[in-house]
Amino acid sequence: MRAAVIVFPGSNRERDAERAITLAGGTETHLVWHTETSLPAVDLVMVPGGFAHGDYLRAGAIAARSPVMRAVADHAARGGYVLGVCNGFQVLTEARLLPGALMRNAGLTFICRPVHLAVEQSGPFTGAYETGAEVTFPVAHHDGNFRADEETVKRLEGEGRVIFRYREALNGSVNDIAGIANEAGNVLGLMPHPENAVEPLHASEDGMPLFKSIVAACA
């Protein structure tokens, strides 16, 4: 699997993402600066966590308008895989590659700790998990409160596009939604950090099957 990791001013998980992809069996990973207008030939584009452009205006709002995001949108339209984590999830909603928005946490506090999630659906990002499995990923966000209008939430639930769900009330997200996919299933956004749960040093390796799932899907 060949991958590109998009880097914005303020990204801080690009190396973690690169390492997770490599550990899972990725054969080639490129770090792509946000001003680029094209992507290398890749199977997966990952938009990593951090605070792109300092989260000015809204989290991910400026990054969503970076030149590279047009190429990311074209990649997704061709059926290529796109994974946005934390700030990356925010960028994908701002770029309208995913519905809804990520708002300030209900308690207006930064949350940084391991959380338990349920794997709600099987698909290209979760094929190595059993449906319904509980996994532990860390979170580190201030704007992780997923909101959408009632009709959009009903559609996400009804079409099986809620891929990860918090097992506890965490940040105010409607229906405790932690991660969603687009209609085609090739774009996933989630707030918790699977790339920081891939080796023993992380205390949890529950994120590794996610990356191995993508490698298998690309194969």
Q: How is residue 85 annotated by DSSP? A: E
**Identified catalytic residue from 53, 195, 202, 218:** 195
Q: Does residue 203 come out as left (phi exceeding 0), alpha (psi in the -120 to 50 range) or beta?
A: left
Amino acid at 209: P
- What separation in angstroms does the CA of 205 have from each of 18, 41, 124, 211? 16, 29, 19, 11
Give catalytic status of residue 218 as yes or no: no
Report the C-alpha gap between 71 and 139 in whole angstroms: 28
193 is catalytic: yes
> Annotated catalytic residue: which of 34, 53, 75, 193?
193
d(Cα 41, Cα 147) in Å, to the nearest integer?
Answer: 34
> Which tokens sit at 200?
């023993």
> Which one of 14, 75, 86, 218 is the catalytic residue?
86
86 is catalytic: yes
Give catalytic residue positions: 86, 193, 195
